[in-house]
Structure formats: structure tokens, C-alpha cells
Structure 1
Amino acid sequence: MYGCGTLLTIPAYLKFGRRPVMLGTLLVYMVGLIGASRANGYGGLMAARIIHAFASGVCEALPVQLVNDIFFLHQRGNKLGYYTVCLCWGSTGPLYAGYMLAGGYSWRLYFYVEAAFAAALLILAFIFVEETTYKRNTPSGPTVPNGSNEKKVFGQEEVEKEDVPSDHVEVQTLVPPRKTWLQQLKPWSAINHDEQFFMTIARSFTYYAVPSVLWVVTSFGIYIGLGALAFNYTFPIKIVQPPYNWAQQNAGLIALGNVIGYGLAVPLTWTSDRLAAYLTKKNNYVREAEMRLGVLIPAAIIAPCGLIVYGFTAEKNLHWIGYFAGVAMCDWGSYFFFTFTLAYAIDSYTANTSEMLIAMCVGKQLISFAFGIYLLDWVLESGYVVIVAGAFTAVLFANNLMVIPFMLFGKRIRAFYAHTWLAAMHRRTVKQVITH
């Protein structure tokens, strides 16, 4: 539900606006958490979990859409990096939940705390997140007065002179006046009648045929399913048994590897935008989407090495520091792939970013779920070296190496797809292009 819920929430924020969907989903999220905290049976708990998971799934798309709405091309990599690390550090939740249980508190306390955070998010979003949808007029007619009886028409290189009285002052505005703070607090937005709700859902599935988008889907799904789930499932089993014999309440400490890995990656968030700017300057100031991908090469190697370290540590019962080192290495690399493969796809297909985000959210959750549901069985049957250090590493490394074909041929792939039936279908069905 966390992944597939975006099939409805993303078309909803295109049709009804970013702000009402942001506030509405946060409200439903909070209600679902309150319901989970008061559940008296498994059925009630599962129903409440489905409700708040459905509402929370939009966090995988709406913040990315806001970044695309607000920030310029050369800023997106940096801003997406900050968003990504906050999202990834959310996986440290089991650490806090474990200590709550170990401290003698009820499992309900975890939902109380999370519901309090949800209420705080709702209040902050109401105050600070304004509507970012802006329906632009075509720039063929408006003019910009320059005080010398001349007007510059958008799309023309020469000015046109007008014979007007010297005391005549023409004032034209190209952008609407800024909303007041009270106007920004309005919780609803105008309905976009040009946006097709169900066609948006249908078009999103066509993005699985686009290589760069499919690469984002597999990168997220593999890192989540083969990396994060493998660590969270297997570490508690290993660390409470000999030769480690840790107390059960400390089984969630593997989250510290997560914190360390992402913490070491965050200071390098600027590298993608900086590399792209440097290559743009060398390319006679012509920007291409592939220019940011070079920063992924170190991560493509280090992350699979982290899986190897973790797998051998678990198989050979090596020092416990190997678990944390393996997790930190894998998460350090995953940060770059989470952030910059997404930024690359957005750079490549800026128009109608939201449809691409639907495909990403649904695809990566299905992949991670498919791997995660049998992951523990595979590891216990075949061993940590064979599965984690062998099969998982091979799959991850093969996915990471795709950075090289995209660096070399990404532009040609995009040019090819511009002349396919897929592009023609989008041109026929898209009524409004949402871009910067």
C-alpha cells in the first residue's frame, strides 16, 4: 500500500493541487497511526497500518515534485540529497522501538510517538508548504516595457518600436502578484481541468519502457530489498547468538551503521551539481542530463563491497565491527544511487515528472517487497556468503555498472525514444506539460 497508493495520490495532487493533498494525506496518516495505537487485535492493527501506509506513500513523490517546482536545474541534485538522507534515516525506527520495548513500555507507545510527529508535520506543512502549482501562459504575446518606447516580444531577438506619447506609461506584468501570507494558508487549490486523472495513471506504466526510469526503479528496489532488508532481518538473529551474545534490546543497533553511512555521504551532496556545472562549462554551456552521473562510479564499487564484508562477517562469525562496516559502506553507496539516479531521470524527462514518479514508487516497492518476502529463507538455507556476498552482490553490482552505458549512450537513448510510438502517444494524450 505504501508504494501502490501513489497510483491515486499523485494524480490527485496534479488534479487538485499539491497543498490539499499534502495536508489531506498527513491528516489520514495521523488518523491511521492513532487507530494502530488503539487496535485490540491483529485485524484492526493491519487495517490501521494499511490506512496510514497508503497516506504516507506520497512522501516518496510529493517532496520530489516540490523540488522540481521550486528549484532550478543546477540546484536539484543538492536539494534531492537532503530529502533523500532524511528519508533514509527513517529506517532507524526499529532502533527506537526496540529500546521502548526493552524499557518495559507498551508497543502502543511507538505509535503514540509517531502520531505526535505526524501532528507536528501537519502543523508545519499547514504553515510553510504553500501551493507550488503554477499554470503558465504561453510566452508568445506578453511584452516587457523598457522605458524607451520599445517592447521586447518573447521569442524574438529584435525589439519593436512603438509611436506612443512621451507621457504615456505602459505597465505590463508577466507574473501574477505575490499572494499574501493568509492567502497562502488556504488549504484548497483550484482544480486543474486540463489534467486527466485516469490517463495520468495509465501513462505512468509506459515509463517502465524508458531505460533511465527503469534504472531508478531497479536501483531503489535492489538497495532496499537486497540491502536494507537483509541487514534488518539477519543482524538481530546473528548478534544475540554465540559468539556475540548481545542482549536482545541491542539488536536494533545495526541502525548506527545506517546513520554512519548516510552521515558520511551527506557532505558530498554537492558533488553531482558541481560536476554537472563543470562539464556544462566545458560543453560550451550546453547542459546534458548525463553530466551528473560520474559521481556514481565510486559508489558503484563501494556498495557491493559492503555486502561482501557483511556476508563474510555473518558466515565466519567475525568481529561485530564487520556488520557495521558492511552496512555503512552499502548505505554510503546507496545514498548516491537514491539521489542522483532520481535526479538524472528528472533531468532527462522534466515534463510530467509526476507520472514518472508513479512508476518509480510502485516499481521499487514491488521489487523490494518481492525480494524481502523470501530473503530470510534464502539466507538461512544457503548461507550468508552464497546469498549476501554472492548473489546479492552480483545483482547489485550489475545494476550499478549500468551507470557506464548511460554515461556513454544516455543522450542517444533519449533521442531514440523521442521518435518512438511511446513519445507519440504522450504527445497525443498530454494536455498540459508541467515543467519548470
Structure 2
Amino acid sequence: MSIRQRPPTQPKWSVRNISYNPQVCSFVPVFDMDSKDEAGISIHDEVAGKQSVRDDAVGTVRLYEADALVLIPTPSPDPRDPLNLPQWRKWLITITLGICAILTDVSASYGNDPRVEDLMTYPTLFMGIGNLIAMPVAMAVGRRPVFLGSALVLMIGSIWCATSTSLSSHIAGRDILSMAAGQSEALCPLIIQEIHFLHEKSAMLAWFSAIQSMGTAALLISTPYLVQSFGWKWWYGVFGIVNGGILILAFLFVPESRYQRPTDAFEGAVHIHRQGHNDRIMRATTYHGVVLDLVRFKPRSIWNDIKIFHGPADWNALVTCLVQMIQCLSFPNILWVVLMNSTVLGIYVIMVSEYAGILSAPPYNFAFTSLGYVQTGQIAMAVIMIPVLGYGGDLLTRKLAERRGGVAEPEDRLIPMVLPVVIVTISCLFFGRAGSHPNHWSYWTIIITYSAEYFGFISVVLLGYTYSLDSYPERAGPILVLICAVRGLISFGISFGVTRFITQLGYTRALDVCAIVMGVVGALGIPVYVFGRKIRLGTQKWAVDNQDLNVEQ
């Protein structure tokens, strides 16, 4: 008995016996596999006759089954499957990635001393280039070697900048450092999405973003004191030392997360068609979990985890990733997510470029060392985002799925998008007026609107990630690099024109334009929400590999 045709080199699964799993208190089938490279069989056995959600659009999945959450993607019986990592290990990986993102974010954006424009503008360009290089390579050789390699280059780049003896050398070191930093924007969220299930994805991405935001703000607050006490070269020296520590931590505790799965695993169900029998759907849930098969699979070990490379490189995957990026950019819903990310980042670049000048000038007269404390608002925004859009987003998805009889739609992730769109639009209006007429407005207007826009920025990024990854789970890598690379390149372009834009229009008119653009682009999300399922149906032939496992019984 077989499902769809597939190359004969791929492994074959079969039901071997029925085993008892005391952890979930249920009898579940154990599956064999001829190869140890592929996963994808789910565990809970469901009687046939129920319609598969794949008869609908890609991304539409059954999230509840008999009051239990379905594990999506479906984990395999392989102990080395990253989805089978213990929860404490997943938390440790998320925290490590978040700390690494702190360092790359600050290292790529720092430019206080010396005050040279190229040290601020070009890092954003090279971060975008870093994304375009690192992610396709990660698809070919694995996530772990690219992540560790980037961490190593970050350490070397920091040392380079700290020991530079000329401006040209300093700029070159910053550009190399920023190129390595770029991988964290897309690769870290990809790793997080590959080790967590759909029903917890938003919360874990929110924690990652919050750790990055809070750590970045704290370090930026301390930067003026560090520079004044030790000089700007030791700023790089400190980061070189810390990057070395992160490299060791990542080497020991961040395993390879690439794991090949069949298309059915991303639906949370494997469809079994037996000749002469009714069809069945196999599912794994929080009540009927995975029985790890230690007969056919090797157990997870520290020696396997610390290996740099896992399996041979697939360079065809590099080319495929680039092609899929172009394909995904043509999807109307993904194009809108890219526009939303680019718009909110562009507005943030304007505010982050101008707030210090406004607050340090009369009548506010902020001291240079006091400007860093404005970043405390970003810490507050990151803390708020975790329960509101992290856990709140996952909760909303589960509740709406319950109302549909257990079926979840990716467009559920877009409902909270209304909040950041409204907040960013209002922030633009007030920031512009306070910048033009500081004598009529409190400095708190600048601080609050700047912090609120940052909340909008990280919220749009979070919601855009979760919606895109839920819609097209088999295109996670290309979509993430597409979003991050495009917004990085746009940020680079905007950074050159901010001063002229403000000079020609003034703060009020310039930020009014930003508010209008944000409102218009945000409103385009309405047809994406309404017609999202039809869009996914129309694009799924480019977003689904239709890779299956032959199942015999």
C-alpha cells in the first residue's frame, strides 16, 4: 500500500507494533524507518471518513482533535528530531539565540564614536546582504554551521574594529561584522520555528524578540558610559569577548534544527490509503504523543549535538531557496507582509534618526548620556508584547480554531495586526507635531511616540512572521530571508534620505506622510484577511513540495 509516488531513495515507514507510552498514558503505534534522515509519521490513529484539511488551502490545519491540541508539524519517533527536544532545552536555545541577536543588533547599529555617517548607513546594507548569503547556505549545509560561522565572524569583526588604525579599516571591519550579524534576523527565527509547534510559535518568537529588544536597549543605555570610560575601541573589545562566550554557548547547546519532513507533517496529519480498506488519518496530539523508537533510531547524545555538519551538503537547495524567494515575493499575501515590515521599519528609521536631535536641542536640552535612557521605553514595549501578542496571539488562534470545530486558519494571526497599525499611525501624527513645535509639547510626547512606534515595529515583525510561517510552513526559510533582506535594503535607502526628507517637508508634514502610508499599507491587509484562503489555494502549488512517505501495514 502506498500514498503518492516518490523517489525510491526516500525511506519507507511501516507500522511495527503497538507500544504503551506511560508519559501520555495511551496506546499508540510505533513506526519503523529504513533511513534515519527523514521524519513525518504522526501518532494518534483516527478512523477514516473525516475529510482531510489538505482538501482546503495550504496552511489550513486541524488544530484540535477531541479537545487535544494537534502537534503541528507532526514529530517523528526519532529522538534526534528537534521537535522532540525537552522543553528546557528549547528555552535554552531560544535564550541563546536572543542573546546573540542582542549583540548583532547593537554591533551593527553602533555609530556614536567616531561620528562618521558611513558607520551608521552601510551596516544596514551589509546586514541585508548577509541575509541573502547566509540563509540559502543554511538551506544547503544546515543551520548550525552557518550560525556558528556567523558567531565566529562576529567575534573576529569586533576584534578587527577594536584594533583598526584607520577609518577605512574601521569601516571595512564594521561591514564584515554587519554581514555576519545579518544572519540573526532570519536564521534565528527559522531555528525557533523548527523546534516549536504551531500552537506555541507566537509566544516563543515573542520571547526571542523581547530578549533581543530588552538586551539591546540596556546595552545602548550603557554605551555612552562605556565609551567615555574606556574609549570607543574597547566598546568593540567588550563585544568581541562577549561574542566569544556566545560562540561557546551556542557550540554546546544549539543543535542542528534542519530535519526533513513530508508535506503531511505540516498539516498535522499523515493520510494513509490502504487498498481494500477505508482511509485513515494519523495524528499526534498533546494527549497522544510520540513514542520514541530507540530500536531503529539512535538516542540523542552530546557528541551528535556538537557535530558541526549533519549529513552531506545539498547545494541544489541553495539554488532552490533563491528561486522560492522570487516565487514567494509574487504571492499577494507575502508581498503585503514585506510591505508592512518595510513601511514600519522605514518609519522607525526616521524616528530613531531624529529623536536625539529633537531632545538634545532647546527647549528640552537632554544631555548626551541621558539620551540612552529613552531606550527604557523599548524595554517596556517588549515586556508588553509578550503577553499581548505572544501568548495572546496563540490563545486567539486556539479559541478561533475551537469555534470552527478544531480548524485553524493562518489569517487568525492577522486580527491583532490592527493594534500596531493604529498605534504607529497615531504615533506619527504626534511625533511630527512635537518635533515641529517643541515649545507646545512635552518631551514625553517624543519619548512615548518613539517607544510606541517601536512596539508597532516589533509587533508587525512578529505577526508577519507567524502569519507567513503558518500559511506556507514548507517555505519558512525563503520567506524569512525575503522579509529581512528587503526591509534591510529599504532601511539602507531611507537612511540616506531622512535628513533631506525632514528638511524639505518639516516634521509635521513628513510624519503625516508616514501616517498616511502606514494607514494605506495597513488597510491592504483587509483583502488579505478576507481572501487569504483563496490566495493560499491559488499559490499552494508553488509552496508545497507534495513529498510523502510510503506507508505499509
TM over 0.5: yes
Aligned-residue Cα RMSD (Å) equals 2.8
Q: Does residue 1:394 correspond to 2:394, yes or no? A: no
1:416 equivalent in structure 2? 538
Please state whether the residue corresponding to 2:474 is helix, strand or coil.
Answer: coil
**Structure 2 counterparts to residues 8-407 of structure 1, below 5 A:** 8-89=133-214, 92=217, 93-101=219-227, 103-136=228-261, 154-156=272-274, 176-193=297-314, 195-227=316-348, 229-268=349-388, 269-317=390-438, 318-388=441-511, 390-407=512-529
Contact preservation (8 Å) 1:195, 1:431: no
CA distance in 1 between counterparts of 2:188 and 2:394 reads: 19
Whole-angstrom distance in 2 between the partners of 1:66 and 1:247? 41
CA distance in 1, matches of 2:385, 2:258: 32
Output one character per residue of 1:264-318: Cα deviation in whole Å (capped at 9) or x when no partner: 2222121111111111111111121111221222222122111222111111102
Give the superposition deviation at 1:74.
0.9
Deviation of the 1:409 alpha carbon = 1.2
After superposition, the C-alpha distances for 1:388-431 in whole angstroms (9 at most, x for unaligned) are 2x011111222222332222111111112236xxx2xx77xx69
| Higher RCO (Cα < 8 Å, 6 or more apart) | 2
Which of 130, 136, 140 does residue 5 from structure 1 map onto?
Answer: 130
The normalised TM-score by structure 1 is 0.85
What residue is the counterpart of 1:166 in the other structure? none
CA contact under 8 A between 1:304 and 1:396: conserved in structure 2?
yes
Asked if 2 retains the 8 angstrom alpha-carbon contact of 1:7 and 1:358, the reply is: yes
Displacement of 1:172 in angstroms is 7.5
Q: Distance in 2 between matches of 1:4 and 1:189?
A: 26
Query: Cα–Cα, structure 1 residues 194 and 111, in superposed 2: closer, same or farther, change >3 Å?
Result: closer
- Does the CA contact (< 8 Å) of 1:20 and 1:189 recur in 2? no
Higher-strand-fraction structure: 2
TM-score (norm 2): 0.68
Structure 1 letter corresponding to 2:301: T
Question: Aligned pair in 2 of structure 1 residues 175, 409: CA closer, same or farther (>3 Å)?
Answer: farther
For 1:381 and 1:9, locate their aligned partners in 2 and report how far apart those are by CA, in whole Å. Answer: 39
Distance in 1 between residues matched to 2:260 and 2:384, nearest whole Å: 40
- d(CA) in 2 for partners of 1:33, 1:432: 43
8 A contact 1:222–1:368 mirrored in 2: no
- The whole-number CA distance in structure 1 between the counterparts of 2:237 and 2:314 is 40
Contact 1:235 1:254 in 2 (8 A): no
Query: 2:150, 2:177 → 1: CA distance?
Result: 9
Residues in 2 aligned to 1:410 and 1:343: alpha-carbon distance in whole angstroms = 14
Native 8 Å contact 1:261 1:330 kept in 2: no
**Residues 465 and 480 in structure 2, CA contact (< 8 A), matched pair in contact too:** no
Measured after TM superposition, the shift of residue 34 of structure 1 is 0.8
Contact kept, 8 Å, 2:189 with 2:205, in 1: the verdict is: yes
Aligned equivalents of 1:352, 1:115: Cα separation in 2: 34
